[in-house]
Chains A and B, each alone.
Chain A
């Protein structure tokens, strides 16, 4: 007759012990899973100028060096960054008040000058963009910053996956031959499920 209260108290003991142990165990299991997981990143690259070419390739190559799994989806003007020849990438100071306008040569006092040139003047001088691009390229070289070409090949060597937007290829009248090797030509429906799984997802 004494069996029934005994079972009840055993149940209560088990319950109490489980309450003590379970949260700890779950915490440990989750931590182990987190540590075993390879971090991943997806980037949408939408800009096709020399300055905006840097963020996607710097972040992609660095993440790959950290051992992350990286995919970059190039769409609209971003597709320019995948062309075989990217020596014609330009930077435009026009309508970009954030861009310092400094000279990459000459004595220090000259280099520290900021050339405030009004937009109207910038727009009116033929070849202004080409000169600005040349100066930017020189500044990049002077500062030991990598070229886009170098960052792009380093990314590919490190297994960063480049996805190119097929719709944009057709929209802009490009050919697959215009682009470097190793690309996957896909659509948004292929990219989004990858982005959903990623720890970090950026739009650039």
Chain B
């Protein structure tokens, strides 16, 4: 999947992946896609909730070898 910005949140724990993602989204424009890599198992539910609450669309959420990959489309 194509993305406009990449955020490596691997090794970071709650709530840093969400806070860093929010910060990255702030620098982007509507419709742009942010890819996030994370190792925090809690981030799967957290990113779903974050998307629901903020209106940014979670395009995909996948796990690969204990690493999580999210694609968020900025509102």
Contacts and interface: CB of A to CB of B under 8 A. Distances in A.
Nearest to B54: A67
A143 B13 CA distance: 7
Contact of A62 (B13, B19, B40): B19
A145 interface: yes
Interface residues of B, number: 15
B50 A145 contact: no
A154 interface: yes
Interface string A47-66: 00000000000100110011
A158 interface: yes
Interface in A117-151: 143-146
Interface in B3-27: 11-16, 18-19, 21-23
Q: Is the interface of B mostly helix, strand, loop or mixed?
A: helix
Contacts, number: 37
B13 A66 contact: no
B62 to A, nearest CB: 21
B16 A146 contact: yes
Contacts of A143: 13
A172 B23 CA distance: 36
Interface of A: 58, 61-62, 65-67, 143-146, 154, 157-158
Interface of B: 11-16, 18-19, 21-23, 40, 50, 53-54
Given A62-B18, A65-B50, A154-B19, 9 more contacts: A58-B15, A61-B19, A62-B15, A65-B22, A65-B54, A66-B50, A144-B16, A146-B19, A154-B23
